[in-house]
Amino acid sequence: METISENACFGGTQGVYKHASDATGTDMTFGLFQPVEAQDGPVPVLWYLSGLTCTHDNAMTKAGAQAWAAEQGIALIFPDTSPRGPGVADDDAYDLGQGAGFYVNATQDPWAPHFQMWDYITEDLPDLVFNKFALDAERQGITGHSMGGHGALTIAMSLPERFRSVSAFSPICNPTASDWGKKQLGAYLGDDTTKWVAHDASLLMKNVGFDGPMLIDTGTQDQFIDLLKPETLANAIATRRQEAVFRMQPGYDHSYFFVSTFMEDHVNFHAEALWA
């Protein structure tokens, strides 16, 4: 692992690190905020998965999460959204290829050799950070924005014993029925739509739910709301009677202005579950 940078931040440390990933077969970069409490022993962890076109840097510098994490004494992990570099497949479209890994393990060419983002987020990167840093693997929460909200929800529902809490900002809720989903799942996983179901938050909610608290925020003026399909997840939550807070925030769009506005709520929501 290589340290790219470390900066004092709200009494703790905001670091950026690079490592060779077994899952993707590439070098991967991630951000990690450690509160001052990490100097005395392992602290709870909140994973933040970013959206289309993002790297580890977007949320790390725009979401304003460190102030609230420092107040609550929890760490933040900001992974990248896809493998990158020479020899890694890409596409001219912004919503496929590098920057658009969709948090799945690709099975189709040309994506399969490197686009193993499910394994990277759930196995490879956790193995590294819990061995290298003072982080408590028994106290994990996960959140994300847009494509990252999709990833956070699907990963949390698929790994019910790992995460104590899950939240999402404007998540892609029903990708098997949306152009933000059908394109990517078809490219990465192939035409057999039965293989897509495990990566659809609304279908997972219907089938398995989440054994813990959930918080969802989406703006009523989100310019991508027809692609996000929040109503499908809201209906699945209601049908399952899932423990959840689902909020449509009046006037807000899809931007990091929206994310940063409600970040305090989300960090505090996770802290309550992680310190319980």
If one compares 141 and 276, the residue with the highest pLDDT of the two is 141
Q: Are strands 75-78 and 135-144 parallel, antiparallel or unpaired?
A: unpaired
Q: What's the pLDDT score for residue 204?
A: 98
What are 254-257's contacts with CB under 8 Å, separation 24+?
Answer: 254/146, 254/170, 254/219, 254/222, 254/223, 254/224, 256/58, 256/59, 256/62, 256/63, 256/145
Count of the separate structural domains present in the chain: 1
Report pLDDT digits (tens) over 76-89: 999 999 999 999 99
Report pLDDT digits (tens) over 165-185: 999 999 999 999 999 999 999
Mean pLDDT of all residues in 251-274 = 98
Report pLDDT digits (tens) over 47-61: 999 999 999 999 999
Cα–Cα distance measured from residue 79 to residue 65, given in angstroms and rounded to the nearest whole number: 14
* Residue range of the domain that includes 129: 2-275
Q: State the CATH number of the domain containing residue 220.
A: 3.40.50.1820
Residue 160, pLDDT > 90, answer no
Which residues are the active-site residues? Answer: 146, 222, 254
pTM: 0.97
101 and 117 Cβ atoms separated by less than 8 Å: yes
> pLDDT category, 119, cuts 50, 70, 90?
very high
